[in-house]
Copies of this chain bind each other. A is one copy, B any other.
Amino acid sequence: MIFECGKYTRKLATPPSLLGFAAVAGKKEREGPLGLEIDNVVEDTFGCNSWEKAESEMQKQAAKLALTKAGLAPPDIDYVFAGDLLNQCIGSHYGMRELGIPFIGLYGACSTMAESLAMAAIFVGGGIAKHTMAVTSSHFCAAERQFRFPLEYGGVRTPTAQWTVTGAGAVVLGAGETLPYVRAVTIGAIEDKGIVDISNMGAAMAPAAAETISRFLRDTNTNPSNYDLILTGDLAAVGSELLVQLLQLDGIDISENHADCGLMIYDRDKQDVNAGGSGCGCAATVLCSHIIPQMRKGKMKNVLFCATGALMSTVSIQQGESIPGIAHLIHLSNE
């Protein structure tokens, strides 16, 4: 059963377990602070002859590993929720094609790990499915040439720009005793404060994150100190600072227990990533390589996972549009 909790939040009375999870990523991510926790790391082409095919391969590997770790096979999964950044989400379509699982395609840009987890949890918690899977990915080279410039061009990136993570994450959900559980979900609305600089997506996404976190805390009548960690998706350096400021204006202080996946996955002093990491694979890799294992070991009991997305395209930006942002929140808990 699923219960309304305030206007925007849904609590899961029988919270689904994260039965299995996996992160697969590239060489640069291996060299980052979480590198040794990533399940599988290979060279960035993953044995494929294009970066887009490599991204699909990463998704497939992550999904298969998560299934194996859950002790399940594709026919055991009722629905897979997946999406990515590539035009028409081909990372997911070719990645999930051979698994044969009923497929619900999502587009949430870099918020996809939270969006897919939210749907996957609601389907299990609402009794619609026994087992579900949430999957997403991004690939630096595929994203760079699609959204920005050919890599060969070697364009200089601005200080506010973020580095798209080459990584994929997959989580299998179902009833069980395995920690952690998904306790609650808050789906965000589109927020657009008029940011037009595509090299500053942190600023475009921060208002959405602030609104979603604020809605969740109000709906549940809790405050930041009730959580071990409030983890945003990929706001990186600029967006994280803005988020803390925006929430302070709203009377909410997350400065003591906020972290951002975009600031965790790389060492900004040693790795050339400007403001930090981004991409669907950023939140997915950090969640599946580091956060869930930390919770399973009991090192954290309550985590708010709030992945953020920038919903523009190159066409909308060229036509002078601003960047709409979105953020979805998942309350992960051992309790």
Q: Tell me if A107 and B105 are in contact (CB < 8 A).
A: yes
Q: Tell me if B187 and A96 are in contact (CB < 8 A).
A: no
Interface residues on A, range: 35 or more
| Complex interface: stretch among A260-268, A286-294, A312-320 | A312-320
Q: Using a CB-CB cutoff of 8 Å, which residues 86-139 of chain A contact chain B?
A: 86-90, 93-94, 96-97, 100-109, 115, 119, 122-123, 126-128
Contacts of A190 in B (CB 8 A): 93, 96-97, 100, 103
Does residue A311 face the partner (Cβ distance < 8 Å to B)?
yes
Question: In the complex, which of the residues B49, B102, B119, B128 contacts A104, with contact meaning CB atoms closer than 8 Å?
Answer: B119
Inter-chain CA distance A314–B146, complex, in Å, is 12
Q: Using a CB-CB cutoff of 8 Å, which residues 151-208 of chain A contact chain B?
A: 187-190, 192
Question: In the complex, which of the residues B49, B85, B87 contacts A315, with contact meaning CB atoms closer than 8 Å?
Answer: B87
Q: Tell me if A105 and B108 are in contact (CB < 8 A).
A: yes
Does residue A256 face the partner (Cβ distance < 8 Å to B)?
no
- Contacts A122-B128, A128-B122 given; indicate if A88 touches B8 (C-beta within 8 A): no
Query: Could you write out 19 A-B pairs with CB less than 8 Å apart?
Result: A10-B128, A79-B187, A88-B107, A89-B107, A90-B311, A90-B313, A90-B321, A94-B321, A103-B189, A104-B106, A104-B115, A104-B119, A105-B106, A106-B106, A106-B107, A119-B119, A122-B123, A122-B126, A126-B127
A interface residues (Cβ-Cβ under 8 A, vs B):
1-2, 8, 10, 49-50, 52-53, 79, 83, 85-90, 93-94, 96-97, 100-109, 115, 119, 122-123, 126-128, 146, 187-190, 192, 311-316, 319, 321, 324, 326
Additional A-B contact list (15), CB under 8 Å, known A49-B319, A93-B311: A2-B128, A52-B319, A79-B187, A85-B88, A89-B311, A90-B311, A90-B321, A97-B192, A102-B189, A103-B190, A104-B106, A105-B106, A105-B108, A122-B126, A122-B128
